[in-house]
């Protein structure tokens, strides 16, 4: 039995033998997850049903106000988008901004004590794939790490094994953000002591890794510290998305990952020239 267990563990962790079988295995146990999730769902639908009329009216008004503001912003956005497109055409670099999206609901936050994952209620049947970016309305949340047929697991950006390429919005300095294992902290390793990064700078995805589309906010720098004599500065950041409090998330379909990478800043002719 023990040999069997150890064999299983090695097979799963080192050789990833079960990555395809896990889809089916996860589907087998998903009824238990639905049962565990049910009371919370019932409670939330219950509390939605017994709202007072006044609360509903207030909320409706609030939402309409928000909607008005957002629509007004959108008017400008359309204009900016077309302008941006024209400018990009002038520069010969196309970039895509439209992605297919899908709303998903968080089923449970808790998982293995050592990893930061959450369970969402969309799976392979909805077209979810491994490594798919997941965001909410505030910023990047994480990426899909395991897919079941109707549920999937999302590893969060604060997980100790997660890294995401970013750039500073203010001045395009690039960096990589690693998870720290704590819920509200991220690490930014290998930053030069004289790098132009300040506390409060917003980090957005750079799209260089090819997984995440470029331009989504990830974190804010919370501390920039350089001790004399050390190789790199100690930089920590806090995620902009409320990772432990969001109920609804968005799945993004990042169809053409390298389209965002802006690999060719020079025109192709110039690029080929030295080879001739």
Footprint of another protein (CB under 8 A)? 1-2, 4-9, 11-13, 18, 22, 25-26, 28-29, 32-33, 35-37, 39-40, 107-115, 117, 119, 145-146, 153, 160-161, 180-183, 244
Return the number of the residue (93 or 180) whose C-beta is nearest another protein.
Answer: 180
Return the number of the residue (160 or 202) whose C-beta is nearest another protein.
Answer: 160
Return the number of the residue (184 or 262) whose C-beta is nearest another protein.
Answer: 184
Q: How far is the CB of 251 from another protein (least distance, A)?
A: 18
Q: How far is the CB of 131 from another protein (least distance, A)?
A: 16
Return the number of the residue (44 or 89) whose C-beta is nearest another protein.
Answer: 44
Q: What is the DSSP string of 203-266?
A: EEE--TTSSSPTT-EEEEEEEEE--TT-SSBEEEEEESS-TTT-SEEEEEE---GGGSS---SS
Q: Evaluate whether 100 touches 251 at the Cβ level (below 8 Å).
A: no
Q: Evaluate whether 154 touches 142 at the Cβ level (below 8 Å).
A: yes
Q: 């080192």: which residue's tokens?
A: 14
CB-count burial class (<10 Å; 0-12, 13-18, 19+) for 214: buried
Q: How far is the CB of 191 from another protein (least distance, A)?
A: 20
Q: How far is the CB of 69 from another protein (least distance, A)?
A: 32
Return the number of the residue (23 or 259) whose C-beta is nearest another protein.
Answer: 23
Q: How far is the CB of 112 from another protein (least distance, A)?
A: 4
Return the number of the residue (117 or 193) whose C-beta is nearest another protein.
Answer: 117
Q: For the CA atoms of the chain, what is the radius of gyration?
A: 22
Instruction: Give the whole-angstrom CA distance, residue 15 versus residue 17.
Output: 5
Return the number of the residue (153 or 167) whose C-beta is nearest another protein.
Answer: 153
Of 85, 99, 94, 105, which Cα lies nearest the Cα of 211? 99
Of 215, 171, 165, which Cα lies nearest the Cα of 186? 165
Q: How far is the CB of 59 from another protein (least distance, A)?
A: 24
Q: How far is the CB of 45 from another protein (least distance, A)?
A: 15
Q: How far is the CB of 54 from another protein (least distance, A)?
A: 28
Return the number of the residue (39 or 274) whose C-beta is nearest another protein.
Answer: 39
> What SS3 class is residue 79?
helix
Q: Report the sign of the C-alpha dihedral through residues 153, 250, 132, 238, in that order.
A: negative
Q: Classify strands 174-179 and 163-168 as parallel, antiparallel or unpaired.
A: antiparallel
Instruction: Give the whole-angstrom CA distance, residue 69 versus residue 260.
Output: 29
Q: Evaluate whether 169 touches 203 at the Cβ level (below 8 Å).
A: yes
């Amino acid at each position: 039995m023990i040999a069997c267990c150890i064999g299983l563990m090695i097979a799963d962790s080192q050789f990833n033998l079960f990555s395809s079988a896990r889809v089916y295995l996860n589907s087998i146990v998903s009824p238990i997850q639905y049962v565990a999730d049910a009371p919370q769902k019932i409670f939330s639908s219950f509390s939605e049903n017994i709202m007072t009329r006044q609360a509903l009216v207030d909320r409706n008004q609030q939402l309409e106000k928000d909607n008005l503001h957002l629509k007004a912003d959108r008017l400008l956005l359309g204009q900016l988008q077309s302008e941006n497109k024209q400018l990009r055409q002038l520069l010969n670099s196309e970039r895509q901004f439209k992605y297919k999206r899908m709303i998903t609901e968080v089923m449970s936050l808790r998982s293995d004590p050592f990893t930061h994952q959450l369970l969402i209620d969309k799976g392979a049947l909805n077209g979810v794939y491994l490594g798919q970016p997941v965001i909410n309305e505030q910023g990047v949340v994480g990426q899909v790490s395991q897919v079941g047929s109707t549920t999937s697991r999302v590893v969060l950006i604060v997980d100790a094994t997660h890294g995401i390429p970013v750039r500073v919005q203010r001045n395009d300095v690039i960096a990589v953000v690693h998870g720290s294992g704590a819920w509200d902290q991220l690490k930014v390793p290998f930053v030069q002591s004289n790098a132009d990064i300040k506390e409060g700078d917003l980090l957005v995805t750079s799209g260089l890794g090819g997984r995440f589309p470029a331009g989504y906010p990830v974190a804010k720098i919370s501390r920039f510290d350089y001790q004399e004599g050390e190789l790199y500065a100690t930089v920590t950041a806090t995620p902009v998305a409320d990772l432990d409090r969001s109920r609804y998330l968005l799945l993004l379909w990042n169809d053409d990952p390298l389209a965002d990478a802006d690999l060719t800043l020079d025109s192709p002719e110039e690029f080929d020239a030295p080879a001739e």
